[in-house]
Structure 1
Amino acid sequence: MKLLITGGAGHLGSELIRLTDHEVVATYNNSAPASGVHAYRVDIRRRAEVEALIREVRPDAIINTAYQQSDWATTADGAANVAAAARGARLIQVSSDAVFSGESSPYDELSPPDPVTPYGAAKAAAETAVRVIDPTAVIARTSLVIGGSSPHEQLVHRLAAGEPGSLFTDNIRCPVHVTDLASALLELLESDHAGVAHLAGPEPISRYAMGRLIAERDGIDPAALPRGSGPSDIRLDSTHTQFGLKTTLRGVTEFLRE
């Protein structure tokens, strides 16, 4: 199988490249993937660039991990461009728990999006576009992705060093380890699953409590972490998806204390 990974230089994209046994082609926007795979610099906001890439590469499958939190065109239009150009390739669109408001937590795969942030709205628009263009595609929603040098772990280190900011004690998510997430995505790629899948850890936790676990693991005094308030409770219920997977999506306390 020839697998195209968009956003191949990112945290998740890099882990997918590391784990897969498939022939891989990756795209990037700024810095090329460090893995040495065949990579193309492609702006997925430009449909002509995406279509030209698909015609040249002719992938059997695509995992779209590309996004920009502050850029609607990359997150929403880019996903639509990839889906429209896929030409029958097996497609997984990586989405986010940001498509939910937190008003009706927990959310299972049948819960309709009700975003309250621009990023969440862009991800919800991407889901709709992909679902309409390719009903056989997988919409894989996930939560905070931890492991390696994730942005969340980097933030904990910066805050402990005195950078302004805080970790909210009342902002609840269901973090997932990047290796678990990548393994589950690759498993779904070869399944006949279509539609929404939830790939989050089973343990809800606040950003502050997660930050303390990261600090303890890395030898940082947890007392150095500033706390704040920003109420938001978005728990993805991944029970249904997990039932059909061999990959175990571990809880955050488990994988941070291993």
Structure 2
Amino acid sequence: MKALIVGGSGFLGRTLARRCLAAGYEVAATCLTRPGEIAGVTWSPLDVRRQEEVRTLISSLRPELIINTAYRQTDWTTTAVGAANVALAASVVDARLVQVSSDAVFSGAGVRYDETCVPDPITPYGAAKAAAETAAIAISPTAVIVRTSLIIGDGESSHEARVHALATRRSSGVLFADDVRCPVHVADLAAALLELAVSEHRGVHHVAGADAVSRYELGLLIAQRDGLDGGLLPTGRRADTGLPGPLDVRLECAMTQRRLRTRLRGAREFLG
């Protein structure tokens, strides 16, 4: 199997690349601002916003599997148009496409969302991810769309770095006690993505953790695991700030979990 990880130098992308190598795949990956450093991976610079650049690279590599993890929260073109460019190029070489999406496609008004729920984003990033989903399915009807939540690792994620910075007073801000998500461990997410990639399934799947926790509770769990003083973590309510974005979004993963061998652990387990 020849696999291409678009956005391979990112947190999830690096984990996917290593897992693909361990599975015996021939692995290629792309990077934009950070060069890749995983031995055994063929690295190529790529700006997904440039359609011709994407088409040329994918046509030359001719991968059988493409997993697109590339996004920028503040950049519609990278997140939405870039996903369409990858889907178009994947269709030309008849590659299996897996598009990574987000719980940001939901407003939070419904709180619990299963795989049949229609996106109703209330932020530009959520709208870009919803557009990316639509483009991927329209261009490549056999594509897999994987919506996920906050991605946590063993110290490498941005969420963990923020908790450390807040607990050691190297950064200001608060962790919201009313902002609820279903964090997933990056290893579980990567394993699930590859399972779905080689399966017969298509369409929308939810891959998130089993526990719904607030960003503040998540911070406390990270602090406890890492020997930090959780009492130093500042907390507040997002509802009091006027910041745009959903409050409570819980991805229901029952249908997807039935299709997986990988067990989607909750944050209280994998950070316990």
Q: TM-score, normalization: structure 1?
A: 0.98
Q: Give 1:227 shift.
A: 0.2
Q: Partner of 1:11 in structure 2? A: 11
How far apart are residue 55 of structure 1 and its match? 1.1
Matches within 5 A, 1:214-253: 214-231=222-239, 232-253=247-268
**1:57 equivalenced with 2:65 (yes/no):** no
What per-residue deviation string (whole Å, max 9, x for no partner) do you get for residues 133-178 of structure 1? 0110000000000003100000000111221111000000000000
Q: Distance in 1 between matches of 2:123 and 2:253?
A: 22
1:84 and 2:88 matched = yes
CA distance in 1, matches of 2:167, 2:36: 29
Taking the aligned partners of 2:228 and 2:58, their CA distance within structure 1 comes to 46
The match for 1:172 is: 180
Question: Cα distance, 1:70 vs. partner?
Answer: 0.6
Match of residue 244 from structure 2: none
* Equivalent position amino acid for 1:116 in 2: I
SS at 1:74 equivalent: helix
CA positional deviation for 1:51: 0.4
2:164 maps to 1:160: no
| 1:231-250 C-alpha deviation (Å, 9 max, x unpaired) | 40000000110011000010
- Matched with 1:23 is 26
User: Of residues 189, 199, 213 in structure 2, which corresponds to 1:191?
Assistant: 199
Q: In 1, distance between residues paired with 2:89 and 2:218?
A: 39
3-state SS of the aligned residue for 2:125?
helix
Q: Give 1:165's aligned amino acid.
A: G
Structure 2: gaps spanning 5 or more residues: 240-246
Do residues 112 (structure 1) and 115 (structure 2) align?
no
Report the AA paired with residue 228 of structure 1: G
Deviations 1:85-122 (Å, cap 9, x if unpaired)? 10210000000000000000200000000000110000
Distance 2:182 2:65 in 1: 28
Write the distance in 2 (CA, Å) between the matches of 1:23 and 1:69. Answer: 30
- Distance in 2 between residues matched to 1:91 and 1:212, nearest whole Å: 37
Matched letter for residue 189 of structure 1:
A
How far off is 1:32 after superposition?
Answer: 1.5
Structure 1: gaps spanning 5 or more residues: none
Q: For 1:112 and 1:222, how far apart are their aligned partners in 2?
A: 37
Give the CA RMSD over aligned residues.
Answer: 0.7
**Cα deviation, residue 123, structure 1:** 0.2
Q: Hey, what's the Cα distance between the residues in 2 that align with 1:4 and 1:19?
A: 12
The counterpart of 2:221, out of the listed 206, 213, 216, is 213
What SS is found at the alignment partner of 1:4? strand
AA aligned opposite 1:63 = I
**CA displacement at 1:230 relative to structure 2:** 1.1
Give the TM-score taking structure 2 as reference length: 0.93
Instruction: Point out 4+ residue stretches in structure 1 off by more than 4 angstroms.
Output: none
Residue 242 (structure 2) aligns with: none
Structure 1 counterpart SS, 2:71: coil
1:19 positional shift:
1.1
Identity %: 58
C-alpha separation in 2, matches of 1:251 and 1:214: 13
Q: Partner of 1:255 in structure 2?
A: 270
